[in-house]
Amino acid sequence: MPARVYLDHNATVPLRPEARAAMIAAMDVVGNPSSVHAEGRRARAVLEKARGQVAAALGAQGAEIVFTSGATEAAALALSGRGLAGAAIEHDAVRAWSDDTLAVDSSGKVAVPQPAAATLQLANSETGIVQSLPAGLAVSDLTQGFGKLPFAFNWLDVEMGFVSGHKIGGPKGVGVLVMRQGTDIAAQIRGGGQEMGRRAGTENLIAIAGFGAAAEAAAKDLADGVWNSVSEIRNILEQALDAAASKTILVGKAGDRLPNTVCLATPGWKGETQVMQMDLAGFAISAGSACSSGKLRASAVLGAMGFDAATASGAIRVSLGPQTREEDVLRFAEAWLKEYHRFAARAA
């Protein structure tokens, strides 16, 4: 039986060997980073090394890096109580704290009339569509673009942004809020004053060490052009599908997208059905965002772009990684098209 093929990198990325090695090394560090003795200073050194690695990968030298339990917590820290305007294409972790008043056009682009009172993602997890962030933006979800797109936080003219460790090959359960230096924000978790008073609680040193190593490795991949190669393989997949699936829409194909993301929408063919069929065939893909406790539902992102319910319910996401090979996507195309033709015959 052929090996399974993982095509769900926007949901989570396999742990990088650099992250694994850093985490194993951190397991032997005894001290608490807040302690002043030698063991504590050693732990503090691990923490600050990782902070520097993440800052460098984000292009955020001199900015303030606050470690959290993930992008969801970082989003809450950045957005809670601010009443910022948002869009329906945002991740649920953002929509929980913002409204959906920003207009989304049919290409997936968002208009932001008042950036200082708004939040806008850099790239969408479902469609891969990349936004042009306006100057003076209050908050940006940088999670999907981090490690895949060349950007520097210091150039974005954004007050705050956030990212997640496991989206770049670090461990799950660690994220970062990045802020312009001197930004005032109230802690939601209060206690010992860790993370410059922004997030109390002893830092998760093992996960943070892994995040730092993953960030450094991801930055190297980006500089080495790894994602250009991924984009070429993505294009091969789209060509194979586009030529044979006349009922299917390749969402966002005409605009700027993440180099690894394919969003396919087939009206009337439920996304969850496709996910199960591909799972049985040996391929891991998604129907929408994977961060909603396993819930499968019509894509709010496609709905915001003006697609009808039948089309939005028929959307799947295929997201590639640096290890994805051309033969992997061609095998997937063959398996998916087999099921597509069965669906088309039933629907005729």
Rounded (10°) CA dihedral 203, 205, 211, 215: 90
Which residues lie below 8 Å from residue 97, measured CB to CB, with a gap of 6+?
A: 75, 76, 79, 80, 82, 84
Please give the order of strands across the beta sheet that includes 249-250: 249-250, 261-265, 315-319
Could you tell me where the beta strands, DSSP code E, fall in 171-303? 175-179, 249-250, 261-265, 283-284
Identify the helix (H) or strand (E) that includes residue 239.
Answer: helix 226-242
Contact 143, 162 (CB under 8 A): yes
DSSP string of 128-153, one letter each residue: -BBP-PPTTEEEEE-TTTTTTS---H
SS3 276: helix
Alpha carbon distance 314, 248 (integer Å): 9
Alpha carbon distance 211, 299 (integer Å): 30
Burial 298-315 (b: 16+ CB within 10 A, else e): bbbbbbbbebeeebbbbb
Q: Which residues are catalytic?
A: 291
Pairing of strands 158-164, 137-141: parallel
Diameter over CA atoms, the chain: 74
Q: Identity (one letter) of the amino acid at 153?
A: F
In degrees rounded to 5, what are phi and psi of residue 261?
-110, 130
